[in-house]
Amino acid sequence: MLKKLSKYLIVFVVCLSLSIQVLGATTSEKTVDEKEYDIEKIYTISLQDTLDRNIERMDILNVTDDGIFMEILDVESEREETVLISHDGQIYYNPIVFYDGIALIEYNGKYGYINKNYEWVFRPIFDEASEFVNKRALVLIDKRYMILNERGDIEYVLPNEADNPIFGEGYVLYSFDGVYWLWNNGNNVKLNIPNRDYNADNIDINPYTAKLTKSYFVLPEIAYNIDGKKRDYICHIFDKDGNWLYNVSACEEMNTSYFKGGLSGQNVGYIILQNGNFAICFVLHIDEQRETSKTQIYDNNGTMIAVDYSEMDIGSAKSYKDLFWCWDGTCYNSNLEKVNFLNITRKDNERKSENSGKMYNEIGIGDHYIVFWRGEWNKKIFEYEGEEYNGNSFVPETEITVMRDSVANPKDEPSLADKGKVDKMLSQLTEETAVYINGEPLTFDVSPLMKNDRVLVPMRAIFEALGAEVDWNDELQCATAKKDGNVIDVTVGSDNMLKNNEIVSLDAEACMLNDRTLVPLRAVSEALEARVEWLGDSNSVVITTE
C-alpha cells in the first residue's frame, strides 16, 4: 500500500440495495455452519481495555501474518497512530515492519527504504511510496512513478504522462495515451479488451475501481447512452499477465420491460474471491419509484454459478477461500448461501445516541487470518485538504476476535525493525551527500564536496549520467559538455561558466580534488535542462530529466 498514495487511493464503491424481490427470484435461506471450514478461534480481546489510548476512531488497514494493522485517533492528542496487534496479542505502536526484508521509512515527509542489515536501500527521497509486495514497490518522485526491486534497482519508469497507477501484489496497472498497460515482473503489456459492442454512445473506463489480486485483476468500464445515463457497467477480468479472460455485464436485464431506469448511480460492487470466483452486486431501477439489487457469482472460466436478489452489499467485501463478508457483516459462500460465522451480522435497531448510526461489524482478512471487530458508526464532520465534509467515524465498542486457518504458520514475533537503530541511521543522514538521477543513486570515485553551500561533484560522472558527451581540454583546464544542442563550458577556478557562449555566474567555481575535476551540481544540471531538488534533511540531491 502506498503511503499517502495507497492510503488515499483506496476506493470503496458501495452497492446500496433495497429489499425488493423481483419476478419470483428468491434468496437462499440455507445456512452453512462455520465448522465446515478449517479455521479456529485464537483469542478475543477488548480494544479499549488493551490499547493504552482513549480511542475516538479506528480503521483496520491490513491483516498479515505479522498481525492486525490499525489506524487509531486518540481523543486527547487528536493524533493518528498506527497500531500493530500481533497474533499472540502483543501491542506495538507506530511499528516499522520488514516486508520482503525491506522496511519503509518516513522522514520529514519523504520516504525511503532500509534492509535488515540496517543499510539504506534508498534514502528518504520519494514523495510517495508503497510497502514491498512480492519483492516490488511503487514510488513517486517529482511526478514520476517508478518500480523498485528489493535490491534498490529501478526496474521500470512509467511514462511521464502515466495516469492512475494501481499497485498490488507486485504488479502495476496504469493508463497512458488513452491505453491501459500492465507491468508485471519485467513485462509491460498493452491491454486488449475485446467484445466491446455495448450498443452505447460512450464508454468510460473507471480505473479508480480497478482491483489487483494475486492471480487476477478487474478493469471496470461504464457504457453511457446519448443522454448521459448509464447503460451498463462491465467488469473485464484479466490474468496477472494481462490476458483477457472474460467480462461480466451488470445490466443484462436492462433490455427487459422490468428494468428501464438503468443503473442507480455508480452503485456497483465486486470482489474476486480467494478461490478465483468473481462476485458482482449492483442496483437497478425497476421504475421511477423502485430499485432492486442483484448479486451474481462467476467461476474463473466466466460461467455464472449463482444469482440472488436480496439485501446484499459487497462494495467493500472481504474474501476468505470461497467465502465473502458483505459490508454489514453477513457471510456468504460461492453458492450465495449464508455461513454462520460468529453470528456477527449487524443489528439495525441498535442505537447509541442521536448522533450515532447503526452498530457496525468490520472484517479484516489476511492470507490465513480472519479478524472481526465491532464498532459504532458515528456521524462526524471531517477536514480534508482544508475543507469540511460530513463523514462517518468507526469507534470500537467492545472487542476484537481473531481466527486462523489450519495451514497458517504463526510467527514467533513480527518482523519489526529496531527503532533505535533506525533513529541512528536517520541521525547520520547528513554525514555524506547522496545524488540521485531519476531515482537511481549516482556513485562517485571522489565524494561530493560542499562549497559555499553548493554541492560539487566529479565532472565526467555527472555529465555522462545526464546523457551528455564530455571533452576535456587539459591545457585550458576546461570541460565541455554537449547534449540536445546545448554546449556547456566549465573552467577550473572560474566563477563563471558558458552556456551556448553566454556567461552564467556560479556561486562556487569548479575545482580539482584528488585528480578529479569537481563542478557545481545544480548549475551544470539545470544548464542541461534537468530539474534539481535539494533535500537538506537527508542531505540528498534529486535530479530528474525529461
CATH label of the domain that carries residue 338: 2.140.10
Region of poorest pLDDT, from 56-70, 102-116, 193-207, 479-493: 193-207
Q: State mean pLDDT over 396-411.
A: 78
443, 410: one domain? no
Contact 453, 507 (CB under 8 A): yes
Contact 325, 363 (CB under 8 A): yes
Report the C-alpha gap between 7 and 128 in whole angstroms: 10
Using the predicted structure, report yes or no on whether residue 4 has a pLDDT greater than 90: no
Contact 130, 169 (CB under 8 A): no
Report the C-alpha gap between 513 and 511 in whole angstroms: 7
Using the predicted structure, report yes or no on whether residue 412 has a pLDDT greater than 60: yes
Supply the pLDDT for residue 386.
64
Region of poorest pLDDT, from 99-113, 176-190, 325-339, 412-426: 325-339
Phi, psi of 29 (to 5 degrees): -95, -5
386, 450: one domain? no
Supply the pLDDT for residue 253.
52
Supply the pLDDT for residue 103.
96
Phi, psi of 461 (to 5 degrees): -60, -45
386, 522: one domain? no
Domain range spanning residue 284? Answer: 2-419
Give 111's contacts (C-beta < 8 A, 6+ positions apart): 3, 104, 105, 124, 125, 126, 127, 128, 129, 139
326, 467: one domain? no
Q: Are strands 31-33 and 338-340 parallel, antiparallel or unpaired?
A: parallel
Percent above pLDDT 90 for the chain:
26
136, 273: one domain? yes
Bridge partners of 55, per DSSP, are 74
SS3 161: coil
pLDDT-derived band at 426 (thresholds 50, 70, 90) equals very high
pLDDT, tens digit (0-9, with 9 covering 90-100), for 310-330: 767 787 788 888 899 887 778
CA 387 to chain centre: 24
Q: Model's pTM, two decimal places? A: 0.79
Supply the pLDDT for residue 289.
65
Highest mean pLDDT among 12-16, 71-75, 532-536: 532-536
pLDDT, tens digit (0-9, with 9 covering 90-100), for 148-195: 998 888 899 898 888 779 999 999 999 888 788 999 998 999 998 887
Please tell me the total count of domains within the chain: 2
Beta-sheet strands, E only, within 14-143 = 31-33, 39-46, 55-64, 67-74, 80-86, 91-93, 98-99, 102-107, 110-115, 120-126, 128-130, 136-141
Q: Are strands 202-205 and 211-212 parallel, antiparallel or unpaired?
A: unpaired
Q: Which amino acid is at 62?
A: N
Supply the pLDDT for residue 354.
44
Report the C-alpha gap between 427 and 182 in whole angstroms: 39
Whole-angstrom distance between the N-terminal and C-terminal Cα of the chain?
27
203, 317: one domain? yes
Give me the half-sphere count of Cα atoms (radius 13 Å) on the Cβ side of residue 94: 8
Query: Domain ends where: 357, 389, 419?
Result: 419
Supply the pLDDT for residue 353.
42
Report the C-alpha gap between 515 and 146 in whole angstroms: 36
Supply the pLDDT for residue 228.
56
Supply the mean pLDDT for the chain. Answer: 80
CATH number of the domain at 471, please. 3.30.457.10
90, 207: one domain? yes
295, 344: one domain? yes
73, 20: one domain? yes
Which of 133, 136, 169 is closest to 154 using CA atoms? Answer: 136
Percent composition of the chain: helix, strand, coil (DSSP 3-state, to 5) = 10, 50, 40
Report the C-alpha gap between 443 and 461 in whole angstroms: 8
Supply the pLDDT for residue 226.
60
Contact 219, 212 (CB under 8 A): no
Using the predicted structure, report yes or no on whether residue 124 has a pLDDT greater than 80: yes
